[in-house]
């Protein structure tokens, strides 16, 4: 038996923050989720899988465009002709409504509704398979819906499909032991855009999204082909992302000029179809006029009009700690950091916290670390030379 596990296609992702790019590049980025999805469906056919699992957030918004729906319908029809079934759940971005779709999908597509249900099929090799899942019916689900999943049924192989985060109170929270207790053979997860295997036996898997959507979603993106032979499950990752977001850094020196920095940056822009976020460390060493040129975004603008294999997406200046102030600064920094209470921050403005993007960021440890790093950097910049 063989199946494809993907999640978070996010068709129609707007790709914010790319207005400085050429019109051609902006269009290519906006089309990239569709191209990644085409790779996904073409792979399903070429690999002759029994079925495809799409574990939520197929669309970027619950008000999906007709373009995105027609695209999926056409792709699903190709799968139908190849005798491949599709099992789809909706997530927090494209949560389920009775009138969700303007158009109907082919009969090979099963969409789970808001209630946890189990579908059965027989694979080409004769294995009986149970697939259990549900679709979001609203943007946020605080309940642990895993509790509603039945224990393993009388199948040769059972799969749980779930769009959720570990301990994430807003998105059907669960703990790994909750999934293990069900006795399933495979958990096909969605929602987290980082590819990760949470548990080996049985496999509990996040495939990540199929195309990185911003500078924080680095590394190639894709999906898994899952093969089951003699009760052994194996994963094969398949890259689908057209563009890859990456990060790099260079060290500034006192004798650096704009010209020398441009040469250093050019050497890094050698990987095709790559969007680079670059940090210049030790920025306090640079001449004031050089810093002004960078702060005015002129260096990034230069590369926007220069032919390079990679694209320079963002350029950050990082100011290192002032050694004269480091000890006393660290003391008060640590005191301030210890006094931070996220609940107080959330309560400052309940209306502000009701915004999905703000709530997601505040609940993201990496984002909070990023904010603290920016704060430290601003302090270091202010006191450079003092």
Q: What pLDDT score does 142 carry?
A: 86
Q: What is the largest CA-CA distance in the chain?
A: 75
Task: Work out the average pLDDT over 174-198.
Answer: 95
pLDDT at 362 over 90: no
Which of the pair, 362 or 193, is modelled with greater confidence? Answer: 193
pLDDT range class, residue 320, cuts 50, 70, 90: confident
Mean pLDDT of the chain: 87
Q: What pLDDT score does 331 carry?
A: 62
3-state secondary structure labels for all residues of the chain: CEEEEECCCCECCCCCCCCCCCHHHHHHHHHHHHHHHHHHHHHHHHCCCCEEEEECCCECCCCCCHHHHHHHHHHHHHHHHCCCEEEEECCCCCCCCCCCCCCCCCCCEEECCCCCEEEEEECCCCCEEEEEECCCCCCCECCCHHHHCCCCCCCCEEEEEEECCECCCCECCECHHHHHCCCCCEEEEECCCCCEEEECCCEEEECCCCCCCCCCCECCCEEEEEEEECCEEEEEEEECCCCEEEEEEEECCCCCCHHHHHHHHHHHCCCCCEEEEEEEECHHHCCHHHHHHHHCCHHHHHHHCCCCCCEEEEEEECCCCCCCCHHHHHHHHHHHHHCCCHHHHHHHCHHHHCCHHHHHHHCCHHHHHHHHHHHHHHHHHHCCCC
200, 287: one domain: no
Percent of the chain residues topping a pLDDT of 90:
67
239, 260, 288: which is the final residue of a domain?
A: 239
pLDDT range class, residue 99, cuts 50, 70, 90: low
Q: What pLDDT score does 386 carry?
A: 45
pLDDT per residue over 225-239, tens digit each?
A: 999 998 899 999 999
257, 227: one domain: no
115 CB-contact burial (10 Å; exposed 0-12 / middle 13-18 / buried 19+) = exposed
76, 217: one domain: yes
pLDDT range class, residue 290, cuts 50, 70, 90: very high
Count how many residues are written for the chain: 386
In this structure, of 94-98, 142-146, 168-172, the range with the lowest mean pLDDT score is 94-98
How many structural domains comprise the chain? Answer: 2
232, 330: one domain: no
Task: Work out the average pLDDT over 10-36.
Answer: 89
Task: Work out the average pLDDT over 14-20.
Answer: 83
In this structure, of 13-17, 195-199, 222-226, the range with the lowest mean pLDDT score is 13-17
CATH number, domain at 121? 3.60.21.10
220, 269: one domain: no
Which of the pair, 18 or 160, is modelled with greater confidence? Answer: 160
pTM for the model: 0.82
Which of the pair, 304 or 378, is modelled with greater confidence? Answer: 304
pLDDT at 369 over 70: no
pLDDT per residue over 32-55, tens digit each?
A: 999 999 999 999 999 999 999 999
201, 254: one domain: no
pLDDT per residue over 66-85, tens digit each?
A: 999 999 999 999 999 999 99
pLDDT at 100 over 90: no
307, 268: one domain: yes
Q: Which domain holds residue 70?
A: 2-239
219, 239, 259: which is the final residue of a domain?
A: 239
pLDDT at 338 over 70: no
Task: Work out the average pLDDT over 133-161.
Answer: 93
Q: What pLDDT score does 22 carry?
A: 82
Which of the pair, 261 or 321, is modelled with greater confidence? Answer: 261
Q: What pLDDT score does 364 carry?
A: 60
108, 158: one domain: yes
232, 252: one domain: no
304, 168: one domain: no
239, 266, 292: which is the final residue of a domain?
A: 239
pLDDT range class, residue 180, cuts 50, 70, 90: very high
Q: What pLDDT score does 342 carry?
A: 58
Question: Encoding tokens for residue 219?
Answer: 């590394």
231, 271: one domain: no
pLDDT range class, residue 111, cuts 50, 70, 90: very high
43, 158: one domain: yes
Q: What pLDDT score does 334 carry?
A: 66
Task: Work out the average pLDDT over 232-247.
Answer: 96
Q: What pLDDT score does 385 carry?
A: 47
Percent of the chain residues topping a pLDDT of 70:
81
Which of the pair, 80 or 337, is modelled with greater confidence? Answer: 80
pLDDT at 189 over 80: yes
Task: Work out the average pLDDT over 354-368.
Answer: 59
Q: What pLDDT score does 18 carry?
A: 85
């Amino acid at each position: 038996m063989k199946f494809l596990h993907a999640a978070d296609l996010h068709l129609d992702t707007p790709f914010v923050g790319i207005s400085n790019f050429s019109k051609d590049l902006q269009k290519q980025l906006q089309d990239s989720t569709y191209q990644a999805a085409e790779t996904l469906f073409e792979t399903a056919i070429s690999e002759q899988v029994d079925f495809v699992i799409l574990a939520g957030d197929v669309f970027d918004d619950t008000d999906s465009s007709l373009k995105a729906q027609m695209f999926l319908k056409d792709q699903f029809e190709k799968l139908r002709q190849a005798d491949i079934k599709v099992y789809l759940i909706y997530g927090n971005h494209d949560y389920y409504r009775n009138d969700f779709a303007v158009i109907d999908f082919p009969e090979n597509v099963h969409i789970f509704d808001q209630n946890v249900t189990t579908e059965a099929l027989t694979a080409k090799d004769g294995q009986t398979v149970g697939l259990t899942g549900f679709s979001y019916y609203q943007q946020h689900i605080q309940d642990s819906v895993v509790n509603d999943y039945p224990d393993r049924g009388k199948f040769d192989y059972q799969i749980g499909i779930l769009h959720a985060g570990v301990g994430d109170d807003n998105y059907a929270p669960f703990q790994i032991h909750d999934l293990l207790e069900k006795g399933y053979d495979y958990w096909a997860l969605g929602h987290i855009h980082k590819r990760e295997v949470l548990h080996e036996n049985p496999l509990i898997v996040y495939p990540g999204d199929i195309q990185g959507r911003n500078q924080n979603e680095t590394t190639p993106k894709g999906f898994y082909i899952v093969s089951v032979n003699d009760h052994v499950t194996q994963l094969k990752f398949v890259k689908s992302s057209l563009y890859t977001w990456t990060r790099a850094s260079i060290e500034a020196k006192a004798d650096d000029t704009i010209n020398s920095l441009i040469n250093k940056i050019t050497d890094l822009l050698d990987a095709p179809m790559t969007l680079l976020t670059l940090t210049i460390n030790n920025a306090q060493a640079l001449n004031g006029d050089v810093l002004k040129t960078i702060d005015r975004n002129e260096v990034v603008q230069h590369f926007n009009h220069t032919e390079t294999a990679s694209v320079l997406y963002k350029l950050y200046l990082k100011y290192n700690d002032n050694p004269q102030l480091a000890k006393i600064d660290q003391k008060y920094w640590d005191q301030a950091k210890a006094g931070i209470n996220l609940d107080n921050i959330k309560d400052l403005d309940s209306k502000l916290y009701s915004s999905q993007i703000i709530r997601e960021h505040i609940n993201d440890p990496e984002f909070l670390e990023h904010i603290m790093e920016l704060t430290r950097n601003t302090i270091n910049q202010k006191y450079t030379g003092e």
